[in-house]
Structure 1
């Protein structure tokens, strides 16, 4: 079974003030932590980034951009673009703004994956982008984007989606799944 890791790094980073993928924590760029969390469990990894940032990633990282017809349509467009870029049986998705994520967490999520999509929830707060998507979901994503629907959870609701409590994959879910949206949040991390 082929597994592709998908790192979503195409956001606007309005609140952060600069591209979050290249913000640093502990001496490494945010995207580095996600790539390292995916590398041991994935056959290949693709980073989905904005065109203007594509060349900022090292040559060792496979980078693509949103499909032209869905450019700028958010995370769903990024997931679909990755699926079109690399064929696989399943896709392990991570956003680039979780610098506290670790490989053990993603290994456990993949072990617990069941149904079409599995995503993390922490004390009723859903993290739909820390997830595993089976390839059969691609047509639903494409239809949603075609219809102008960008909501990740709307697509998840149309499939067998398992919400996995973060405490089942890590002892520190409130830290591991923290989205860093502003530089101040990183300092408090």
Structure 2
């Protein structure tokens, strides 16, 4: 049986947003809760990867963790690898916490498109590498990249044989759903 683990990336510095995006709200729910819920139906377990100073703010029922020490603070690749090192799985579905319009249907359809390696979303020529599915064996590519100081997600994906799935295959309202909420103004507009 295939084991699938969800990874919510909630450790960014949120400089443009002005406060931790994991705890921004859409309606009554925190961004991290929305991402976690989007993953739960497809995953055996969901991990929220965050920064040390935010970890205590998550409730006890959230499986939170920080980057493993040797890759601490090295960005999203470190968060993904830390989750992979922490929990063994056949595949990992990754979502950033700052895309609160990605729901469980999008995740289900993305997973259905996944064949092997890494599958990620592209919309109108714009790549969304953190809305993605990663096979467990890609862990070695991540480790090698981080050990060599390579922090760019796109470069690691290109070496991992990424398959780009057009967002319109997953949802009709592509522009809204795949919007990174990087500022409070973006949230207000949507």
TM-score by length of 2: 0.98
Kindly report which structure 2 residues correspond to 1:4-153, keeping only aligned pairs within 5 A, or say none.
4-153=5-154
Q: 1:158-188, CA deviations, whole angstroms, 9 ceiling, x for partnerless residues?
A: 1221100000000111111110000000000
4+ residue runs over 2 A deviation:
none
> What are the ranges of 5 or more consecutive residues in structure 2 without an aligned counterpart?
none
Q: CA deviation at 1:115?
A: 2.4
2-structure distance, mates of 1:147, 1:175: 36
Kindly report which structure 2 residues correspond to 1:149-188, keeping only aligned pairs within 5 A, or say none.
149-188=150-189
> How many pairs align?
189
Q: 1:25-73, CA deviations, whole angstroms, 9 ceiling, x for partnerless residues?
A: 1111111110110000000000000001001111111011001111110
Q: 1:103-141, CA deviations, whole angstroms, 9 ceiling, x for partnerless residues?
A: 000000000012200000000000000000000100110
1-structure distance, mates of 2:133, 2:74: 20
Question: How much is the aligned-residue C-alpha RMSD, in angstroms?
Answer: 0.6
